Structure 1
């Protein structure tokens, strides 16, 4: 079921609602709640232009979901890409097609910004997200292994 939400690029005046969602996103991945830290983190991303945050708002203006895109470059393809690190819909608003709408808005924004790809990663156990990504045409990378080093 699709829900009528408006999706737009977030601005600093929307930080409190966005920080609440971001804090929920982090808790979904097992982190402790840190609403103040979430607000500072998002404020810095906006201030420095480190990312693009698309926010979904319901008719009353309540922020109900977001997607965050980080600009990067593909050296091999010599072109800009976006890394889609964060997709989150408030628990009370799930199952209404908002995640799919956010993903489509992210795709449109990436194309309009001259990017050649959207790349993302998800936790192996997040099968719901994996089904959505595959439904939208994303394919699991079977060529490269991705590694991480905590510093």
Structure 2
């Protein structure tokens, strides 16, 4: 694995993050209005909020991936839950441990908050990601509904 650095995103990372975000949206065949993208970036780079964004960088300082996660209260525990809402690694960096490092960053912060549960989802056809996820977590037996 190449040398990868994982750190918290900062406001000035936007120009490097945006192409990755757009690739992520393309992977899921969806669009998000720029106003929402900018609001999301504001949430994940404002200190003290419940949203976070970890980014990965290669040896040259190029951003190679990100994980967006948020903390919320649980009705099943006195502590927090951590939802890893988005995780993406650029195609050329996949299979090199980058996603695992991004997950580990979220897990570390969840542990600091003594989270009751850290959870995430992926598309049922995303078998490559599922191979990783099944090494770090247990698949939940739930069905998601949306409105």
Normalised TM-score (structure 1): 0.86
8 Å CA contact 1:73, 1:80 repeated in 2:
yes
Distance in 2 between residues matched to 1:74 and 1:20, nearest whole Å? 33
Give the Å deviation of 1:38: 7.0
Which residue of the partner structure matches residue 77 of structure 1?
77
Distance in 1 between residues matched to 2:46 and 2:108, nearest whole Å? 23
Q: CA RMSD in A?
A: 2.0
Which residue of the partner structure matches residue 22 of structure 1?
21
Distance in 1 between residues matched to 2:41 and 2:143, nearest whole Å? 32
Q: Where in structure 2 are the equivalents of 1:55-134 lying within 5 Å? A: 55-134=55-134
Structure 1 gap ranges (5+): none
Structure 2 gap ranges (5+): none
8 Å CA contact 1:16, 1:39 repeated in 2:
no
Normalised TM-score (structure 2): 0.88
Which residue of the partner structure matches residue 143 of structure 2?
145
